[in-house]
Amino acid sequence: MAERIAFKGMTPSQAATITHEQYLELICSRNRRSIKRNSMDYRKLTEKVEKFKKNNTGKAVRTHLREAVILPSWIGMKFEVHDGKEFKQLVITANMLDHRLGEYAYSTKRVLHSAPGIRATRGSKFLAVK
């Protein structure tokens, strides 16, 4: 069955056209408070996004601001979010609303250990190294 991409029962086109006040009523209180506080970094990011939308370039918006709450006006835009080492690219969809940018750019990887060393015995791989 195909995944239905929606936000609170709205289609992506409907979600992109809702007003800022309507969006604040639909999201959880933690994200609402974060948007209302409107820090200097968050203001700079929203100005940067508006500039990118006005210029209509196909480039992605690069940011280190992982805690930014995704807004409906960002649907369809490309972002590059810093994960601590490099920038991860993501495209904003309607089901990403009410989440933060950092949730989609993982900062940790799965740890894969190699085999035991050359002179290691079969059982020594289970011993704690002091």
Can you give the residue ranges of every domain in the chain?
Answer: 12-107
Residue 116 has pLDDT above 90, yes or no: no
pLDDT value of residue 2: 64
CA distances 2 to 5, 62, 118, Å, are 9, 31, 50
Predicted TM-score (pTM) of the model is 0.79
Express each pLDDT in 3-53 by its tens digit: 677 788 888 888 888 998 999 999 999 999 999 998 899 999 999 999 999
Query: Sheet holding 78-82: strands in order across?
Result: 61-63, 78-82, 87-91
Architecture of domain 12-107: 2-Layer Sandwich (3.30)
The amino acid that residue 83 corresponds to is: D
Express each pLDDT in 55-76 by its tens digit: 987 899 999 999 999 999 999 9
pLDDT value of residue 124: 64
